[in-house]
């Protein structure tokens, strides 16, 4: 296993889409559309996640002539990737909850002083 990949907001959105169905194979532009990530940035993200053993990839089975388009590279979370992605997203969710609680306390205090 490699070091953990850099977690940008775009990477987290890609992982969240993949976690909706962690056993499914996804192609890059489908992930890009579903996560709202620019098509040009998806490939480096997927490469980093695959290098870190969070994803596995393969070429789709049908030949281009059967599909009328080039073959797609497909990506799927590994078991390690699924667990690691859940940890990352849980940490972000916990940080968001802390901020929300702190803002709520701040607003209550502020209202009490007014």
Instruction: Classify residue 50: in a domain, yes or no.
Output: yes
Backbone phi and psi for residue 26, each to the nearest 5 degrees, phi listed first: -120, 145
Tell me whether residue 22 is in a domain: yes
Sign of CA dihedral 12, 88, 3, 24: negative
Q: Does residue 70 belong to any structural domain of this protein? A: yes
Q: Show pLDDT as tens, one digit a residue, over the chain (114 residues).
A: 447 888 999 999 999 999 999 999 999 999 999 999 998 899 999 999 999 999 999 999 877 677 788 889 999 999 999 999 999 999 989 988 988 888 888 777 777 775
Classify residue 3: in a domain, yes or no: no
Predicted TM-score of the model (pTM): 0.79
Bridge partner list, 59: 73
Range of the domain at 80: 9-113
In a domain, 97, yes or no: yes
Say what the pLDDT of residue 1 is. 46
pLDDT of 114: 59
Count of the separate structural domains present in the chain: 1
Task: Return the CATH number at 33.
Answer: 1.10.10.10
Q: How far apart are CA 17 and CA 105, in angstroms?
A: 33
Specify which residues 55 forms β-bridges with: 77
Q: Does residue 27 lie in a domain region? A: yes
């Amino acid at each position: 296993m490699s070091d953990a990949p850099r977690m940008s907001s775009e990477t987290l959105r890609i992982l969240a889409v993949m976690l909706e169905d962690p056993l499914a194979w996804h192609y890059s532009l489908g992930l890009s559309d579903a996560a709202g990530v620019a098509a040009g940035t998806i490939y480096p993200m997927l490469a980093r996640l695959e290098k870190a053993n969070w994803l596995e990839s393969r070429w789709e089975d049908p030949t281009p002539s059967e599909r009328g388009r080039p073959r797609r590279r497909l990506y799927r979370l590994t078991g390690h990737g699924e667990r690691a992605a859940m940890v990352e997203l849980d940490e972000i969710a916990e940080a968001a909850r802390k901020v929300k609680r702190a803002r709520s306390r701040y607003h209550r205090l502020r209202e009490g002083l007014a």
